[in-house]
A = this chain, B = another copy of it.
Amino acid sequence: MENYLKEAKAAASILATLEGEKKNRVLREIADALERECEMIMAANAKDMQEGKNAGLSSALMDRLFLDEGRIKAMAQAVRQIAALKEPVGRVLEGWVTDNGLRIEKVAIPIGVVGIIYESRPNVTSDAAALCFKSGNVAILKGGKEASQSNAAIAGVIRDVLRREGLPEALVSLLPDASREGVAKLIRMDRYVDLIIPRGGEALIRFVNENATVPVVKHDKGLCHTYIHAGADLDEAVKIAVNAKCQRPGVCNAMETLLVDRAVAATALPRLKEAFDAEATKLLGDEATRQIVPVEPAGEEDYDTEYLANVLSIKVVDGVDEAIAHIRRYGSGHSEAIVTNDHKAAERFLNEVDAACVYVNASTRFTDGGAFGFGAEVGISTNKLHARGPMGINDLTTYKYKIFGNGQIRE
């Protein structure tokens, strides 16, 4: 492990100073090669699929794992899009001159060696590799075991291109020891690894957070709320709530709990029930909700659950204070929305709710690098530090200060 990481660290300094034009050409070569090697990748994927079937993977997991020509073309296209993004390295973030004439520039530079731990979808292998490469970082990839042959095929294609382009293959690699012990070692190698990004289930993220000495940017769960305030346009509120829950229930920015202001509950809840019934959403509610619409009872544990399914908890709240208090207690700091036309209520919600993304009159489903206009995303950070919310390519950089003097010494 140590020799492998030493190589990665050494490769980092080569990549850090590579010009954007060269990086983009390599990325386009990678995209072409993925398409060219489509058959080979599909053959590897077929083996994973067969093993997954034998192991009795769920149909949802099997679908995530599956690659066909269309999906491989989409992977290649994503790499081309990353190539087309604005160069993230070298941006001057700030600059000023001190009283004694030192010119100081705060300049974006690559982080170094980045370990990304993810689950079943094999397209993350090419996405993560391309995002790291574009931002000048060495990528150490640890995908799901069930996708190991697909990932090996994809990484092989990428490494072939790197070698042909005269670059170290160590710039993109799969962690050789993909066991839990291998991960446990990796996350304590702070001499060589600069950042670990775990994407996946709570158990994985807890394990990484509790054991890492390398800095961690977590991509954890989203327990997101939408609060329909007394001042809401109810047509808009229903539309936003249904979108936040139903457009794609299995993702982290989907709503899990709907808070309805007591002042509008009697009017809003029947309309919401009708709209959610049309989407076959299972509804649970507190006592006050159930006095207005017939839904199953919601308990403490429901408000604490990220369903990731077409299920919604509802609670009637007494105004902004109770809504904010509920979110403070149960929210995961991911995405929270208020629907209202009341300016003061919107301001209070925006300022007092502590989450990566706080919305007024829009669906929480927009918490996404693509929707934010970042072009591509590494994921959605639930960290408070370094990167928060949708994590774009610029969040894969850190900075250094360049100081230009003409003989200044400290008195």
| Inter-chain pairs besides A98-B371, A361-B404, 9 sampled, C-beta below 8 Å | A16-B354, A102-B371, A111-B385, A240-B409, A243-B410, A244-B409, A363-B410, A366-B408, A385-B386
Chain A 318-365 interface residues, beta-carbon cutoff 8 Å to B = 328, 350-352, 354-363, 365
Stretch at the interface among A64-72, A117-125, A166-174, A394-402: A394-402
Q: Which residues in B have their C-beta under 8 angstroms from that of A388?
A: 398-401
Q: Is there an interface contact between A247 and B410, defined as CB atoms closer than 8 Å?
A: yes
- A389 interface residue per 8 A CB criterion: yes
Chain A interface residue count, Cβ-Cβ cutoff 8 angstroms: 67
13 contacts between A and B (CB under 8 A): A104-B372, A190-B209, A210-B213, A240-B409, A357-B401, A358-B402, A362-B404, A363-B408, A365-B409, A371-B410, A384-B398, A385-B386, A388-B398
Closest B-chain residue to A194, C-beta based?
Answer: B384
Chain A 191-234 interface residues, beta-carbon cutoff 8 Å to B = 194-195, 209-210, 213, 215-217, 233
Q: Is there an interface contact between A408 and B362, defined as CB atoms closer than 8 Å?
A: yes
What is the predominant secondary structure among interface residues of chain A facing chain B? mixed
Closest B-chain residue to A188, C-beta based?
Answer: B210
Q: Which residues in B have their C-beta under 8 angstroms from that of A143?
A: none
Minimum C-beta distance from A357 to chain B (A): 5
Copy number in this complex? 2
Q: Is there an interface contact between B355 and A400, defined as CB atoms closer than 8 Å?
A: yes
Chain A 53-104 interface residues, beta-carbon cutoff 8 Å to B = 96, 98-99, 102, 104
Q: Which residues in B have their C-beta under 8 angstroms from that of A405?
A: 359-363, 366
Chain A 105-137 interface residues, beta-carbon cutoff 8 Å to B = 109, 111-112
- A403 interface residue per 8 A CB criterion: yes
Complex: how many Å from CA A406 to CA B398? 35
Q: Is there an interface contact between B112 and A354, defined as CB atoms closer than 8 Å?
A: yes
Q: Which residues in B have their C-beta under 8 angstroms from that of A358?
A: 400-403
Chain A 241-296 interface residues, beta-carbon cutoff 8 Å to B = 243-244, 247-248
